Amino acid sequence: MFGRLLPKETSFYDFFEEHARLTVTGTAEFVSMVSSAANIDAKAKRIKEIEHETDVITHRCVGALHKVFITPLERDDIYRLITRMDDIMDYVEAGAERIALYEISTMTPEVVDLADTLWRASKDVEEALNGLRDLKNPKRILAKCVDINRLENEADAILRRALARMFKEERDPIMIIKWKEIYEHLEGATDRCEDVANIIEGVVLENA
C-alpha cells in the first residue's frame, strides 16, 4: 500500500543504485587517466560530465524527500547517504581537474595506487547499496562495508607513503604543492566511501 505513495520516478533505491553505478564509472575513468597519462583533457572532461550526472541524481533525490510522505528508510539516512555519495564524485572530479589544469603528464606510482584503491572502494559501495533494496543478505552488505573501511585505511597508508617519498625526493616545491593537493582529493574520496559504508551499516542494523 505504501509503495503507491512513492511514484516510480522517485524510487530512492533507484537513485542510490544509479548514483553508485555512475561513481564506479567515474572512478574507472580516473584509473584510466592516471594509468596511461594519455588524453588527459578528454578524460577530465568525461569525469566532469559524470560528476554533473551524479549531481542531478542527488538533487532529484533530495527533491523527492520534500514531496514524498512515506519513505523506505529514515529521511535523515536517505539525505546523508545520497549527499555523502555525491561527495565521492566531487573529490574525484576535483582531482581530475587538477591533473588537467596543472598539465601533469608523468604520473607517480602512488597516484595509480590511490586511484585503484578508490575504484575498488566504489565497487564495494555499489554492491552494498544494491543489497539495501530488499536486505535479503545483510551479512554480505556488512562484509562490503568492512572491506570499504579496510580500503580507506589502505588509502591513508598510500597517502602517507606518497608524501614521505615526495618530501624526500622532489626538489620542486611547486610540484610538491600540486601533488599534495591531488593526493588529498583522492584520499578524501575514499574517506567519503567510508562515510557511506558507516551509514549503510546503520541502516542495516536498524532494518535487518
Which pLDDT tens digit goes with each residue over 97-152? 999 999 998 999 999 999 999 999 999 999 999 999 888 889 999 999 999 999 99
Which stretches of the chain score pLDDT less than 50? 1-9
Return the pLDDT at 116. Answer: 98
Return the pLDDT at 3. Answer: 45
DSSP class of 72: S
CA distances from 52 to 55, 60, 143, 160, 174 (A): 5, 12, 30, 31, 30
Q: How far apart are CA 68 and CA 189, in angstroms?
A: 30
User: Residue 54 is part of a domain; what is its CATH number?
Assistant: 1.20.58.220
How many domains, in total, are found in the chain? 1
Task: Find the domain containing 158 and state its range.
Answer: 2-207
Return the pLDDT at 10. Answer: 57
What pTM did the predictor assign? 0.91
Q: How far apart are CA 43 and CA 27, in angstroms?
A: 11
Inter-axis angle of helices 75-101 and 173-207, to 10 degrees? 160
Q: How far apart are CA 141 and CA 135, in angstroms?
A: 8
